[in-house]
Amino acid sequence: MKPNIAAPISSNMKSSLLSALLIACTSLIVHAADPLPPADDHFAANMRRVFENDRLADIRVTFGYDNWTDFKDPNDPGRARAFMVYLSQHQFVQTICTPALAEQLGVDADAQNLRIFEGPGYPGQRLRVSLIWSASTSSTARNIGVGYPRQLRCSGEALKFMQKASADAEVMIYVGHSRGGGGPDTYPPQAVIGNAEDRQKVDFSFYRRERPGLKALKPHFGKSPDKPYFVVWTGCYSENFSSWMSDRLGDRPDPASVVLSTRLTRQMPWIDGIEGADEGLMVVTRLIEALQQHQPKVLFQKNLAACELDEMRNPEKPEWRLMALPSAKKTTLAKK
């Protein structure tokens, strides 16, 4: 039976159509009134700053000397290798370090542990990831023994790279130990002195007292009036350095977007890869993907929350914090 298209519309049908039209109009009005990203969305603002000049993200990653439990062998060569595998699997290609780029990075172009990768970003944009690790070899016995002069050279190169990154990189990332509060470290650990039984133990009291990592970075961190735009420190309890960072960045007009840890961070070097094995590198890869895709802050924070090993997760206290440093109060004063 064909419908009678000329039949009059009943009052019930009129009511239904009017209701549907009202809902549609209301929906349009609500979406039209959706606010633009707020002016204080530091994450989106810094995303724009990274690409606004040359459409190339300058990302620098320093792997500190990452001894596994006291004086056992270092993990940073393996963590760097896993990261480079990730980059290669995501369309990044290793490139040479030119003399001009080496000068920008603060190291010689032939530095032993320096590697440069470039990969795609948002249409018309590129990401350059410059990275360096600290250990000369994967043997601590060799690094602090017959290979110590070479180790000092590698540690010094990594420190210079990190100092330059903290001064003028767009994205500054540190993957390594916090040394119990001493700050980032590219050198083999300081041992407890005076007790033969403690010669293979890290002297955390020395690091807490002297804070050598923070002292080494102090003249450089925040030296630029606006960089770094993004900072990631994945060492244990790195949120304890937030006040130090805020003081160093205190005179800049716009805050940096900073990711810090709230607890001991975990990695399992006996497992290949990053996912489910290395919490710090999971965070690094999520930030790179956010830059590639221009993710909004809410999506990045959702992905950040997933960068925890299941056995370490505490629903009441997420491991990673995204914050704006210096605080809104300090940046407001700086603008006046």
- At residue 269 the predicted structure's pLDDT band, cuts being 50, 70 and 90, is confident
Contact between 216 and 207 under an 8 Å Cβ cutoff? The reply is no
- The pair of structure tokens assigned to 156 is 């010094």
Mean pLDDT, rounded, of the chain:
86
Is 1 among the domain residues? no
Specify if 27 maps to a domain: no
Q: What is the pLDDT of residue 332?
A: 45
Average pLDDT over residues 245-272: 92
Let me know if 304 is exposed, middle or buried by CB neighbors in 10 A (0-12, 13-18, 19+).
buried
- Domain tally, the chain: 1
10 Å Cβ neighbour count for 179?
27
Is 34 a member of any domain?
no
Q: How many CB atoms lie within 10 A of CB 136?
A: 24
pLDDT of the residue at 199: 62
pLDDT tens for residues 163-200? Answer: 999 999 999 999 999 999 999 999 999 888 766 665 67
Local confidence band at 62 (pLDDT 50, 70, 90 cut-offs): very high
> Is residue 331 predicted with pLDDT exceeding 60?
no
Q: Is residue 73 part of a domain?
A: yes
The confidence score (pLDDT) of residue 272 equals 87
Q: Note whether 150 and 136 are within 8 A (CB).
A: yes
Place of tokens 């969305």: 41
Element (DSSP H or E) covering residue 117: strand 114-120
Task: Dump the DSSP string for 92-112.
Answer: -EEE---HHHHHHHTS-TT-T
Confirm whether 132 is domain-assigned. Answer: yes
Q: How far apart are CA 111 and CA 103, in angstroms?
A: 12
Closest C-alpha among 291, 283, 253 to residue 266: 283
Mean pLDDT of 188-217: 85
69 within some domain? yes
**Residue 63 structure tokens:** 């792997």
Q: By percentage, how much of the chain surpasses pLDDT 70?
A: 82
pLDDT band of 202, cuts 50, 70, 90: confident
**What is the average pLDDT across 237-244?**
96
pLDDT more than 90, % of the chain:
73
Mean pLDDT of the region 276-290: 97
Q: Is residue 181 part of a domain?
A: yes
17 within some domain: no
Residue 201 has pLDDT above 60, yes or no: yes
Q: Is 306 helix (H, G, I), strand (E, B) or coil?
A: coil
Cis peptide before 253 (omega within 30 of 0): no
Distance CA 190, CA 169 (A): 29
Residue 246: enclosing H or E segment and its boundaries? helix 242-248
pLDDT tops 90 at residue 2: no
Q: Which amino acid is at 271?
A: I
Residue 16: partners with Cβ closer than 8 Å, 6 or more residues away: none
DSSP state of 54: T
Instruction: Give 230's pLDDT tier (boundaries 50, 70, 90).
Output: very high
β-strand partners of 324: 257
> Looking at the chain, how many residues does it have?
336
Structural tokens at position 7 = 């039949």
Its domain, for residue 139, covers 40-335
CA distance 309 to 314: 10
Average pLDDT value for residue range 34-39: 47
- The predicted model gives 58-72 an average pLDDT of 87
